[in-house]
């Protein structure tokens, strides 16, 4: 079987003879042809005519044995010829500058907090994602959604409506994508979320933890803050940007490092960004519930109860590997933000509203 040859290695005893016979030039010429093959076995016997000796005697025919060591063909990268180092650096440098320009050009401030974040998806992309998520939820829980006139559903709608109005997002909708809908799912999960476009989902399993309107306002204020700040679009934007970055690493560097790159990007960018969004939603949600005339101090008790419930169910995990901050970290942040939230509540003339409600409904205090 033919074997590729890139360099011939001669025995020391025959190197001089080969040089005098002219064979080294032929082998060198063959070795300069990438991809050429040597159709002989590893040990090659060649008969050469030696030059006349210094004493004037005629040359003699003597067999000379050459040991030829075939070497593997030049390494190719992913089926392609290797890129010159200088060209690679030029490509990576140009690509890096273009990605940096693209990233900076798509930075914008988040509402209320003013944090600069990367946004590079269209409303149509977010709407398509929300539609798909909605269909999946309805397929899984559609038969467990409580009717609109159920006490739980009316309770959730009442609290959510006040927070939405405080946020400036009209409950009647700000365009076709903001058609607010309220669903309560009869399931034990301690969960609640708002899909882009205004679909609010609350699981009955979280209502005992919420206990009352202030507790539920803490939960819904946080979830509606995600919608107000556009965190869904932000996470999609980062995922899109990192997908392009991973492709460039795979194409130009080494495809075998894709798994390691994905882990590094997840731990170094995606998870920290997710926790940052959650903390921002805590801050915005606290301001929203205060502006909607709910008691922001009750948010501390809500997260204490949430922490106890999570510890019983899941135990304590390493926060750096989580998408959400720890409950204790959230409590510490809320305590720092409380003075600002209480001032916002005072500026909203909530005391007059509370006095009116107490006079009209002296015994009303729903608990779950």
Look up residue 186 and give its two tokens: 């009869």
Look up residue 280 and give its two tokens: 């921002």
Give the Cα-Cα-Cα angle 142, 145, 146 (nearest 5 degrees). Answer: 155
For the chain, the first-to-last Cα distance in angstroms comes to 81
Question: 366 with 212: CB under 8 angstroms?
Answer: yes
Report the C-alpha gap between 292 and 239 in whole angstroms: 34
What does the DSSP 8-state code read for residue 146?
Answer: P
Question: 125 with 240: CB under 8 angstroms?
Answer: no
| Residues facing 365 on adjacent strands | none
To the query of whether residue 108 is one of the catalytic residues in this protein, the response is no
Of 158, 333, 123, 113, the residue nearest 232 (C-alpha) = 123
Catalytic residue among 189, 213, 223, 266: 223
Report the C-alpha gap between 355 and 361 in whole angstroms: 10
Radius of gyration of the chain from its Cα atoms, rounded to whole angstroms: 36
Catalytically annotated residues: 223
């Amino acid at each position: 079987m033919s074997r590729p040859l890139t360099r011939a290695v001669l025995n020391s005893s025959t190197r001089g003879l080969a040089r005098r016979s002219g064979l080294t030039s032929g082998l060198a010429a063959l070795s300069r042809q990438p991809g050429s093959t040597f159709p002989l076995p590893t040990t090659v016997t060649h008969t050469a005519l030696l030059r006349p000796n210094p004493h004037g005697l005629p040359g003699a025919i003597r067999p000379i044995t050459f040991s030829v060591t075939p070497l593997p063909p030049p390494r190719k990268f992913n089926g392609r010829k290797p890129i010159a180092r200088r060209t690679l650096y030029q490509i990576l440098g140009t690509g890096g500058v273009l990605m940096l320009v693209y990233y900076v050009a798509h930075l914008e401030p988040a509402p209320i907090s003013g944090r600069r974040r990367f946004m590079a998806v269209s409303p149509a992309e977010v709407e398509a994602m929300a539609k798909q998520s909605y269909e999946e939820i309805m397929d899984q829980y559609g038969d467990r959604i409580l009717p609109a006139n159920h006490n739980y559903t009316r309770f959730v709608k009442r609290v959510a409506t006040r927070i939405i109005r405080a946020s400036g997002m009209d409950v009647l909708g700000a365009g076709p994508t903001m058609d607010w809908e309220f669903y309560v799912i009869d399931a034990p999960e301690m969960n609640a979320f708002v899909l882009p476009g205004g679909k609010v989902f609350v699981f009955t399993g979280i209502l005992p933890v919420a206990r009352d309107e202030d507790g539920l306002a803490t939960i819904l204020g946080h979830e509606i803050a995600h919608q107000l700040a556009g965190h869904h679009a932000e996470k999609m934007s980062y995922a899109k940007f990192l997908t392009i970055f991973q492709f460039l690493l795979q194409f130009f560097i080494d495809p075998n490092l894709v798994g390691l790159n994905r882990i590094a990007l997840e731990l170094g960018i995606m998870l920290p960004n997710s926790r940052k969004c959650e903390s921002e939603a805590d801050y915005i949600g606290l301001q929203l519930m205060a502006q909607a005339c709910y008691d922001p101090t009750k948010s501390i008790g809500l997260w204490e109860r949430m922490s106890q419930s999570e510890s019983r169910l899941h135990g304590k995990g390493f926060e750096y590997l989580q998408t959400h901050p720890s409950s204790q970290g959230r409590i510490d942040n809320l305590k720092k933000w409380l003075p600002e939230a209480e001032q916002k509540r005072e500026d909203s003339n909530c005391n007059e509203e509370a006095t009116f409600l107490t006079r009209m409904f002296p015994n009303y205090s729903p608990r779950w």
